[in-house]
Amino acid sequence: MEPKASESSGELPGERRPEVDSSGNVLPSDGDLVAQVLAGNRDAYDVLIRRYQRQAVAVSYRLLGNSHDAMEVTQDAFLKSYSSLATLQKPEAFGGWLMRIVSNLSLNYRRGRRSRAQLPLDDFLGTGGGANAEAAGGASDFSAQGGDPLRRLQSEEMGRKLQEALASLPEKQRQAIILFTMEEMPQKEVAVALNCSVEAVKWHVFQGRKKLREMLKDVM
Partner 1 sequence: MSVFDQKKEDAMTDNQLEFSISQYLDGTLGDDQRSSLERRLNEDADAMAMLETYRRLDVLIKSDAGLPDIAWDSFARTISAAVDAADAAHEESVAQRFRMPGWVKTVMLPTALAASVLVATGVGWHAVQMRWESGKGPVAAGKPAPPASASFASVSVFGSESEPTHGPREVQVAIGPSADAKDQPILVHYSGDVVSRASRVAVASGVAPVHDTDALSFDMQ
Using CB under 8 A as the criterion, which residues of the chain lie in contact with partner 1 when the complex forms? 1, 3-4, 6-7, 13-14, 42, 45-46, 49-50, 53-54, 57-58, 61-62, 67, 70-71, 74-75, 78-79, 82-83, 123-127, 129-130, 141-147, 155-156, 158-159, 162-163, 177, 180-182, 184, 187, 202-203, 205-206, 209-210, 212-213, 216-217, 219-220
Shortest Cβ 65–partner 1 spacing (Å) = 8
Q: For partner 1, which is the closer residue by CB, 46 or 171?
A: 46
Q: For partner 1, which is the closer residue by CB, 96 or 159?
A: 159
Q: For partner 1, which is the closer residue by CB, 93 or 177?
A: 177
Shortest Cβ 75–partner 1 spacing (Å) = 5
> Could you tell me which residues come within 8 angstroms of residue 179 by beta carbon, excluding any fewer than 6 positions away?
59, 99, 103, 185, 189, 190, 193, 194
Strand partners of residue 26: 20
C-alpha span between 82 and 52 (Å, rounded):
13
Element (H, E) at 181: none
Q: What is residue 71's three-state secondary structure?
A: helix
Shortest Cβ 158–partner 1 spacing (Å) = 5
Long-range contacts of residues 59-62, Cβ cutoff 8 Å, at least 24 apart = 59/99, 59/102, 59/103, 59/106, 59/178, 59/179, 59/183, 60/102, 60/103, 60/105, 60/106, 62/163, 62/166, 62/178, 62/182
Q: For partner 1, which is the closer residue by CB, 3 or 24?
A: 3
Q: What is residue 1's three-state secondary structure?
A: coil
Q: For partner 1, which is the closer residue by CB, 50 or 114?
A: 50
Shortest Cβ 93–partner 1 spacing (Å) = 19
Shortest Cβ 89–partner 1 spacing (Å) = 22
